[in-house]
Amino acid sequence: MNDYLILAGIIVTLDPDWHVYSPGGIHIRDGQIVRVADIEAFEGEDLPKLDLSDCLVMPGLVNAHTHTPMVLFRGLAEGYSLLTLDGWYNAIRLWELYLEPEMIPPAVAVSCAEMIRTGTTCFADQYFYMDQVVPVVKESGLRAALAFGIVELGDTDASARALAEAEAFLQGLQGHSRLKGWVGPHAFFADNLPETIQTELDLADRFETGLHIHLSTHGEEDNFCQEHFGRSAVQQMKVMGILERRLLAAHCLTIPPEDLPTLAESPFTAVIVPSSFTRAGASTPPLRAMFDAGVKIALGTDNVANNNSYDLFQDMRLLGKIASFLEHKPEAIPARQLVEMATLGGARALGLEDQIGSLEPGKRADLITLDLNEIGWAPLGGQDVYTALVYSVSGMHVRDVMVDGRWLLREGQFEKLDYRAACAELDAALEHLRDRRSEGEE
Ligand SMILES: [Zn+2]
């Protein structure tokens, strides 16, 4: 069925006029959205019809910061803050030393399955072992921006090797319809020094892509840059030309307020991860100042060793509640804006806003359905639909997921991935990892 109509109970489009059709129809041809309108507009259309009248249809969510292999560490980092260098080193890095390439595919498969199940259709990943990550993401059917992770930590030989591999990786993904290669310095200044950063910028320029980094988790870059250059990290990034490139910067907890206007006028997106900074007991990002300055914002879940869930609906809700709690007023961030952050906000951050992020003619059919027969919606006539999406339901209400016109989930069942098999392989990989570490430390 390449040319057909979806007839839905409610359609939330996220188009520039915030159209909600209830009930509505979507005409899809060869994976592309042709038309979205009230159901009456399609009366008499002689096309095959898919009846989703008991569902809400909306754009798929965009998770703008993940590390899919790290689901292997879920449960191993409790009690540590991964937002400090110390906590990350002790809880994660000491395990990473014992990783083997064959442990990666089941972890990526479980991560992709959890994202699909909870309504994410596109994600921005950053990690090592990208040669192991790519085949699984291809198989999953998801759309992704995959950043080749580079941690230097003073080892210039290792970073030179990683940069050469990153180049081959970017080359290999050229022209892929759903996957785009990115450059993934773990963190500027804190563990990637200026010479390495320059090479990373050159790579991003050559392959017309962006850089996916961590920034300002506890002030480490600012301390380094004040000491070495006599200015803040953001101002040093401006001097080095870094801010002229597309940047995806996870966390942004401790950016000095005076630097926010500089970020607002750059192709820079702050990826806020509410579950991560709240669970870690870290600083709260300067949300109101970021909004007022016009900094672009997207939402992410980060690794699920410190979250511990890929359900982006939870992070929309948590961010909305934190903002209201901090500002002592309801709707400090309107629910509609939270939904936009998790869809179009992520699409813009990845440079994909012409293709995904809303349901509009000409865009690819990346959409999800939520079951209106499930709990939380009633009374349907009473709740604002965006408020219901943020505060009343969750990712487990998602019933179907489509990317590029292909179903990845139908009525709660995976169409492409074998989730149970991946979980069994992940359990075996974790056991093997524990054995390797205890042998290594004997
Ligand atoms: Zn991260």
Read off the pLDDT of residues 192-236 as tens digits, 9 standing for 90 and up.
Answer: 888 899 999 999 999 999 999 999 999 989 999 999 999 999 999
CB 61 within 8 A of CB 45: no
pLDDT of amino acid 1: 65
Quick one: DSSP state of residue 242? Answer: G
Residue 65 CA to ligand 1 centre (angstroms):
6
Quick count: other Cβ atoms within 10 Å of Cβ 229? 15
Residue 216 CA to ligand 1 centre (angstroms):
12
CB 144 within 8 A of CB 182: no
Gap between the terminal Cα atoms of the chain: 59
Q: Token pair 């850089």 is at which residue?
A: 211
* Ranges under pLDDT 50 in the chain: none
Domains, the chain, ordered by start: 3-59+368-411 (2.30.40.10), 61-349 (3.20.20.140)
Residue 180 CA to ligand 1 centre (angstroms):
19
Instruction: From residue 278, give the alpha-carbon distance in Å to each of 82, 282, 297, 318, 322.
Output: 12, 6, 18, 9, 9
Residue 250 CA to ligand 1 centre (angstroms):
6
Residue 247 CA to ligand 1 centre (angstroms):
14
Residue 350 CA to ligand 1 centre (angstroms):
16
Q: How far apart are CA 207 and CA 203, in angstroms?
A: 6
Residue 304 CA to ligand 1 centre (angstroms):
9
Task: Spell out the residues 6+ positions from residue 212 whose beta carbon is closer than 8 angstroms to its own.
Answer: 65, 124, 126, 145, 147, 182, 183, 184, 248, 250
Residues surrounding ion ligand 1 at CB below 5 Å: 250, 302
Residue 98 CA to ligand 1 centre (angstroms):
20
pLDDT of amino acid 301: 98
Instruction: From residue 193, give the alpha-carbon distance in Å to each of 162, 184, 271.
Output: 14, 14, 22
Report how far Cα 298 is from the mean position of its chain's Cα atoms. Answer: 8
Q: pTM of the entire structure? A: 0.97
Residue 356 CA to ligand 1 centre (angstroms):
23
Residue 106 CA to ligand 1 centre (angstroms):
20
Q: How far apart are CA 8 and CA 21, in angstroms?
A: 9
Left (φ > 0), alpha (ψ -120 to 50) or beta: where does 319 sit? alpha
Q: How far apart are CA 422 and CA 424, in angstroms?
A: 5
Task: Spell out the residues 6+ positions from residue 372 whose beta carbon is closer than 8 angstroms to its own.
Answer: 9, 10, 54, 55, 56, 380
Residue 263 CA to ligand 1 centre (angstroms):
20
Query: DSSP characters for 150-165?
Result: E--TT-HHHHHHHHHH
CB 53 within 8 A of CB 40: no
Residue 164 CA to ligand 1 centre (angstroms):
23
Residue 273 CA to ligand 1 centre (angstroms):
9
Residue 127 CA to ligand 1 centre (angstroms):
9
Quick count: other Cβ atoms within 10 Å of Cβ 101? 10
Residue 217 CA to ligand 1 centre (angstroms):
10
